[in-house]
Amino acid sequence: MRFVFLGTGTSAGVPAIGCDCAVCTSADPRDQRLRTSAALEFTDADGRERVILIDSGPDLRAQALRRGLRRCDAILFTHNHVDHTFGLDEVRRFNAVQKTPISIHAEGKTLGDLRRVFAHIFDRDQNVNNSFVASLIPHVIDPDAPFEIHGVRVTPLRLLHGKLPILGFRFDHARPIAGGESSPLPLAYCTDVSGIPPATWKRLTGLRTLVLDALRHRKHSTHLTIDEAVSVAQNVGATRTYFVHMSHDVPHAQTNESLPRGMRLAHDGLVLE
Ligand SMILES: [Zn+2]
Ligand SMILES: [Zn+2]
Ligand SMILES: [Zn+2]
């Protein structure tokens, strides 16, 4: 079981277009951040390689090529913001390679948004020409109902992104894993969050890994600051916490030195086992 950070940057990406700041011009590759997205790679009980994507941002093509992703079994959507959904078109290549449709999982409102934005995928019979579009199987997530994908138990986590209710996800092994086998699970993935409702806290216990939004130091209405994220992480008490969705205000090396034990900034390409 591997958890891969495909992208760790905020919505504009880092470097930002037209910016000459120290982070945008940094020589440290960890200061280059594609839009926030992640993959869970594992072998299922039948020995088949599986990949679950969390979100399909506008950098998905570059991320898939960089990681060498060759398949996608399911996509979990946190919310319909451009930086988390606008790469959905790219998954048609996975359809072509693996010759199966891809399950997508999102709340009803998010699925409705995806149907509107990607009408050429969902209403393909309306396309003027029969063009090469993704083949998807939509599943509506009930935020109170955990579900299972190829032996991974997925528990939706209600989060607040400013006033917008969105989803994070907790991943657990549905069945015990062999002794000695390493795993980043239980893992909770909480991007684009500024508030955690009381009922969600009890779903964040016993984590080996917490992945948490930490935009920048300055206050923001829809994202946790680094100080706020550190405070949330201390309350959650996961064995280790990785921060994501950073802006160009956050230099990687310097910021990491200032973080408490067990907390780090993630960087693109980082793999947890
Ligand atoms: Zn975002
Ligand atoms: Zn910059
Ligand atoms: Zn967002």
Structural domain boundaries in the chain: 2-272
CA of 73 to the centre of ligand 1 (A): 23
**Ligand 2 geometric centre to CA of 250 (Å):** 9
pLDDT tens digits for range 92-116: 999 999 999 999 999 999 999 999 9
128 Cα–ligand 1 center, Å:
33
Residue 176 has pLDDT above 90, yes or no: no
Task: Please state, rounded to an integer, the average pLDDT across all residues of the chain.
Answer: 97
Structure tokens that stand for 7 in this block:
């992208």
Tell me the CA–centroid distance for residue 66 and ligand 2, in Å: 23
Question: What is the per-residue pLDDT across 227-261, written as a single tens digit (0 to 9) for each?
Answer: 999 999 999 999 999 999 999 999 999 999 999 99
Cα distances (angstroms) measured from residue 93 to each of 59, 138, 268: 14, 18, 22
- Give the distance (Å) from ligand 2 centre to CA of residue 25: 7
Residue 148 banded pLDDT, cuts 50, 70, 90:
very high
pLDDT the model gives residue 56: 98
Mean pLDDT within 142-169 = 98
179 — pLDDT class (breaks 50, 70, 90): confident
Decide if 118 contacts 96 (C-beta within 8 A): no
How many angstroms separate the alpha carbon of residue 16 from the centre of ligand 2? 5
Instruction: Name which of 220, 190, 213 is nearest 203 in CA terms.
Output: 190
Ligand nearest to the CA of 54: 1
Q: Provide the b/e sequence for 102-123 (b: ≥16 CB within 10 Å).
A: bbbbbbeebbebbeeebeebbe
Ligand 3 center to residue 105 CA distance, Å? Answer: 17
Q: Residues 6 or more apart from 252 whose CB is under 8 A from it? A: 23, 26, 28, 30, 31, 265, 267
> What is the homologous superfamily of the domain 2-272 according to CATH?
Ribonuclease Z/Hydroxyacylglutathione hydrolase-like (3.60.15.10)
- Measure the CA–CA gap between 193 and 183, rounded to whole angstroms: 25
5-59 pLDDT, tens digit per residue, is 999 999 999 999 999 999 999 999 999 999 999 999 999 999 999 999 999 999 9
Handedness of CA 196, 197, 198, 199 (dihedral sign): negative
C-alpha 247 – ligand 2 centre gap (Å): 8
CB 19: neighbour CB atoms within 10 A? 12
Distance 181 CA to ligand 3 centre (A): 34
Q: What is the pLDDT of residue 181?
A: 80
User: Do 100 and 72 touch, CB atoms closer than 8 A?
Assistant: no
Report how far ligand 3's centroid is from the alpha carbon of 241 (Å).
20
Give me the percent of the chain exceeding a pLDDT of 90: 97
